[in-house]
Amino acid sequence: MTSQVVADEIYGAVHPAVAEALGLDDAEVTPEATLMDQLGAESIDLLDILFRIERATGIKIEAGDLAEYVQGGIPDEEFGDEHDVITAKGLAQLKKVMPQLDDGALAGKLPATQVMSHFTVANLAAMVAGRAGTGR
């Protein structure tokens, strides 16, 4: 299977998991939609979404895995500064996992508490696809 086929299959599992967990119509769940801000997911909803993805794909992702994926192994003190604003190093990592971010506009301004508000359905699907490829 090509990586595109795997990505399409993963998105085919992630999309309904998000829609069902949040009680949304399929049309409301687009790849670009942010899980928390636009689709209204809360922490408990993310757990439900991850459980549904695991049931559909067999790929287990825990809530802590999301933070680890987003932060990319960068220690907290290097990811955010003393004011909990994402550092340049942290923003470079975020750009890898959330390529839609406008890092120029967010440089020196993105509070750590706002990071997940930028996480999209496509970002989640990419994370799951990455896990599928690594067998983790």
Could you say which architecture CATH assigns to the domain 3-134? Orthogonal Bundle (1.10)
- Domain regions of the chain by residue span: 3-134
Per DSSP, the three-state class of 102 is: coil
Residue 51's Cβ-side half-sphere holds a number of Cα atoms within 13 Å equal to 9
| Among 54, 14, 56, CA closest to 31 | 14
- Read off the tokens for 73: 């192994």
Helix (H, G, I), strand (E, B) or coil at 82: coil
* pLDDT, tens digit, 9 for 90 and up, residues 21-44: 999 999 999 999 999 999 999 999
Residue entry with tokens 């399929």: 26
57-111 residue pLDDT tens: 999 999 899 999 999 999 999 999 999 999 999 999 999 999 999 999 999 999 9
Furthest-apart CA pair in the chain: how many Å? 46
